[in-house]
Structure formats: structure tokens, C-alpha cells
Amino acid sequence: ENIPDEQVIELFEKAVNAILSYDFNMRINLLSYITHLVIIDKRLDEKEINFIYNVGDMMKLSAKEISRIFADMIQRNYIPSLESIC
């Protein structure tokens, strides 16, 4: 809440890079967590989908790997709100 909008992406990228420099193998768990945060509000729009793929790309994951993680998280955790499907 205290971070200016224009610095959010930069700070996010630094945080992800720091985590991955510590343990590159955490990228799948990290993308799963981020995906969970995106779908928790029971709404999913194109910007959020693009965000997931951009983050996965930043983590050096292939589109196939990102899709598998995304699909797994949707299967396990996503129950759309009635408002979002009507």
C-alpha cells in the first residue's frame, strides 16, 4: 500500500530475482503461489492471465510449463463467482 504504483513492477522483479538467485528451483512454487493469489478473488481476466505468463517468462519457464502450473492451480483452487460467469 505504501509503494508508489510506478515502482511496484520494479520492486516485484527485484524480489523475484533475489529469490531465484537464492534458489532457482523455487520458481515453480513461486509461480504457483502467485497464480493462487491471482485467482483467489474468484475472477480471472485477460490482464491477470497475461501477468501470470509474463512472470513465468521472467522466471525462465517455458509457455508449456507456465500453462501446466496455471492449469493445475485452476483445477485445484478456482471456483468462479456467479457474477463473473453471468
Distance CA 26, CA 85 (A): 33
Distance CA 81, CA 86 (A): 9
The reply to whether the predicted model has a pTM over 0.85 is no
Question: Which residues lie below 8 Å from residue 9, measured CB to CB, with a gap of 6+?
Answer: none
Distance CA 41, CA 55 (A): 19
Q: Which DSSP symbol is given to 42? A: S
**pLDDT for the residue 76:** 87
Closest CA to 13 of 30, 37, 35: 30
**pLDDT for the residue 79:** 77
pLDDT in 10s for each residue of the chain, 86 residues:
677 777 878 888 888 889 889 999 999 999 999 999 888 888 888 999 999 999 999 899 999 999 999 999 888 887 776 666 65
